[in-house]
Structure 1
């Protein structure tokens, strides 16, 4: 799916009790655990913690400033990890906060970051079966640009 960043964007508005924090060594394990939890609900996969964390140092697509972390009083509540190629690699909202606008705000944050980098579009992939994610992406103005089977029949 793709979001055209030349179109008007919604402002980033975090629900009450939430705050954006920088991705850091201190919250990296909690961020990774949330990504692993997200695979249980929405599919996909995340590498083991060490491989994933090391990619921030060795993979040019990984950029700590493009890993948007949101916390609530209980800890890491939502994360969007984006690649430098204007691609949203992973986005997860903890089940305790789903349906409260956190995903929309997180996407707005990612859209703003890429617009500031003079990107025209932001892309992501989503599983056909992940209906709640697809509805969220459609609500924030993302459109389908290609559909493909993961494992051709």
Structure 2
């Protein structure tokens, strides 16, 4: 029997779960090689990038909290999370990419300085419009500008929608991992 808790095969391209692999007890490490060609960032109509600020931080955090309800993951309480931008070297305001429409914040990607996508969420009112793919393209652009070779993230195995998005963005499966009990 194949042990998928470790990397295997000649390359990450050999590693791909089936659509039926949807364990709630496992997650995947995925990676995007930034040496590969990238798409230009194109935002859907009425959407635009805005700076992450103290004024929109609460709306950003609320969207992350909504995302944890639907896709898993963890986000600290608002004060702890916001203070980390001042105290944690992995947090960088320039790597918190915020997308808005006329009603407010609709998508956010928070990345760490170690070329890791910590959280990525698209509000339900903006889903299925190409926002997630454009947001990933923007993340890849940001890390390419920083001369990083690749970008990583973790995704719950049972989050088939996110996995499909990441596959479409050119991310490859690297390793299947078991969740540690909380």
Superposition TM-score, scaled by structure 2 size: 0.82
**Equivalent position of 2:121 in the other structure:** 92
Q: Give the root-mean-square deviation of aligned CA atoms.
A: 0.8
Larger radius of gyration: 2
**Equivalent position of 2:34 in the other structure:** 5
Secondary structure of 2:39's counterpart equals coil
Alpha-carbon shift at residue 45 of structure 1 (Å): 1.3
Counterparts of 2:105 and 2:145, CA distance in 1? 25
Unpaired runs of 5+ residues, structure 1, are: none
The total of aligned residue pairs comes to 152
Is 1:140 the counterpart of 2:169? The answer is: yes
How big is each residue's C-alpha offset from its partner over 1:10-48, in whole Å with a ceiling of 9 and x where there is no partner? Answer: 110000000100000000000000000001110111000
Is 1:63 the counterpart of 2:88? The answer is: no
Alpha-carbon shift at residue 151 of structure 1 (Å): 3.6
Greater share of residues in strand: 2
Counterparts of 2:40 and 2:173, CA distance in 1? 23
How big is each residue's C-alpha offset from its partner over 1:78-108, in whole Å with a ceiling of 9 and x where there is no partner? Answer: 0000000000000000011111100000000
Secondary structure of 2:133's counterpart equals helix
Is 1:46 the counterpart of 2:65? The answer is: no
Aligned counterpart in structure 1 of residue 140 of structure 2, from 105, 111, 134: 111
Runs of 4+ in 1 over 4 A off after TM superposition: none
Is 1:16 the counterpart of 2:45? The answer is: yes
Counterparts of 1:7 and 1:105, CA distance in 2? 16
Which gives a bigger RCO, structure 1 or 2 (Cα 8 Å, sep 6+)?
2
Unpaired runs of 5+ residues, structure 2, are: 1-29
Secondary structure of 2:76's counterpart equals coil
